[in-house]
Each structure stands twice: as structure tokens, then as C-alpha cells.
Amino acid sequence: MDEGFIDLRAHTETGISHVSFWPSFTDIMMVVVVIFMMASTVLILRNMALVRDLRATIDAQHNAEEAARSATETSATLEEQLAQTQNELSQLRMRLMRANEINQARTEEFNRQEQRLLALEADKQQLTASLQQSRLEAQLHQDQLAQTQAEYAQLNETHTTLKKRLQEVLEQLSRTEQSNQEQATELAEFRRRRSLSEQQLVSLQGEFDELRNKYDKLVRPARSAVGKHVVSVRYFREGENVQIRLKESEDDADYQTITPDQLNQRLAKLKDTYAGNLYVKVIIPENSGLSYSEAWNFTYDLLKKYDYYHQGEP
């Protein structure tokens, strides 16, 4: 009896412990197995999460590579379009300069003709006034002749002189009027020719555009900067001096100011280095200060000598 309670356990002996060893070992092993299973489950779950993360990383890498490839292709296409657009813009500027020069020359000729016509009109008015004055003088002398019989001879002589002068003035006026008519005819002819020239210019422009479209459709491929080494040349006038600036590669940051001899030397060297693959991009800036012939001769000379597309042309 312990503290008032009766010990009901069977086979109890005072002071001796009969606790079994094997049940305790079984419990320990069970706990170990449970811990092992929980750890395995945790590791499996973590491995599955790692696998998902790895797959997501691989997919993201593939997407990034695809985006980079697409951006590279888009950049190449935009560079080609930019080069082609700049070339076409230079051609259009040269044609515009030529048209402006022709129009300015014709306008100056028209102004000169108008000045001559105005001068002739002024001469005509002056001669008309002189004729009216002469007629008035003749009428006065005729009145004096009727009133003064005594001065008949002198007045008759004066009348004859005035009549002769009047005849000369009339002849001169007739010649002036004939000259004015000829000038008016010439002016009308000039205006007609100017109208015909403008119509011919429009017609030639249309024929040029049509021929250019037909030429672009020929077997020969269009001029393109794709796969070529692009050299940019800027040509313009600054004050009284002509400026030439060169960029030997699209990767160069700035243009270099050079002389015509240096330009030919560098382009000849680049032509030898990139045989058949040298694309010369000539840029004529807006308000370049150049005439059409200057811009065209410079552009055609460079393309003929060094550009891949124009090699072998007659």
C-alpha cells in the first residue's frame, strides 16, 4: 500500500522493476520510421518545387533567346529600310534642286521680257503724248495762218515743217507700234513655250517614274545594304567651301571631315577590302547649298567608282 492506494498490478514485487525492453525499442523504431517518412516527404516536395522552378527558368531562357533573335532581325530590317529611305531622299532632293533651278531660270527670263515690254509701253506713251502735242501745235499754226494772211508764206513754211515733223512722228509711232506688236508676239510665244516646257517636264517626270518602276522589276535585284559593308558620305556646302564627311562603318559614332583625295584613297582601300560588298551611302542634307549638277556629279562619280551595285556599268 502506497500513500493509501492499493497496488493492483499483477506479479508486482516490491523494489524490483520488470519493464519490458522490446516495447520501448519498437516505439523508438516507429518514431524513427515516421521521422524518415516525413523527411522523405519533405524532400520529395522540395524536389518537385525545384523541378518546377528549373522548368520555369528554362522556359524563360528560351523566351528570352527568342525575343533577342526577333529583336536582332527587326533591327536589321529597320537599318536596311533607313539606308534605302536616306538614299531615296537624297535622289528626291537632287531632282527638286534641278526643278527649282530650271524654274528660277525661266522666271528670270520671263521677268526680263516683262521689263522690256514695260519699257516699250513707256516709250509708246511718250511718243503718243508727243504726237498729241504736235497736233496741237499744228492746229494752232493753222489758226494763225487763217487769221494772218500777211504771214501766209512764213506760216505755210512753218506748216510744211510741222507737217513733215508730224509725218516723222507718225512713222516713228507706227514703227514703235509694230515693234510693240512684235514684242507682244514674242512674249506670247515665250509664254507658250514656257507652258509647253512645263508640260514636257511633267511628262518627262512621269516617264522617268514609269521607267524606274520597270527597271526595278527587272531580273536584277534592287540595291540593298543587307549583308554589305555600309560607308556613309555627307556632302554639302558651308559658306564658300565644300565639306565632305566620312563614316567608314555604321559602328562609328561620328563623321570625319576629309578632303576629296583622302575620300578617294579610303574608299579605294575599302573597295579592295570588301570586294563586291561595299555599299556607298551618299547623303545630301537639306539646304545643302549645292546645285543639282554638283550633287548629281558627286553622287554618280562615287557610286560608279566604289559602290558594289554600279560596278561594271558602261
Looking at residue 278, its pLDDT comes to 93
Span 161-188, mean pLDDT? 82
Does the pLDDT at position 303 exceed 90?
Answer: yes
Higher local confidence (pLDDT), 86 or 35: 35
Looking at residue 215, its pLDDT comes to 61
Does the pLDDT at position 12 exceed 50?
Answer: no
Looking at residue 1, its pLDDT comes to 45
pLDDT per position as a tens digit, 227-260: 899 999 999 998 889 999 999 988 888 899 999 9
Cell numbers representing residue 192 in the block: 507658250
Half-sphere exposure in the Cβ direction for 6 (13 Å, CA): 2
Does the pLDDT at position 272 exceed 90?
Answer: yes
pLDDT per position as a tens digit, 109-152: 878 888 887 887 787 788 788 778 878 887 887 777 777 777 77
Higher local confidence (pLDDT), 295 or 175: 295
Q: To the nearest whole percent, how much of the chain has pLDDT over 90? A: 21
Does the pLDDT at position 194 exceed 50?
Answer: yes
Looking at residue 283, its pLDDT comes to 94
The string of DSSP codes covering 218-275 is SSSPPP--TTSEEEEEEEEEETTEEEEEEESSTT-SS-EEE-HHHHHHHHHHHHHHTT
Mean pLDDT of all residues in the chain? 81
Looking at residue 99, its pLDDT comes to 80
The string of DSSP codes covering 155-182 is HHHHHHHHHHHHHHHHHHHHHHHHHHHH
Selection from 252, 202, 199 nearest residue 229 by Cα = 252
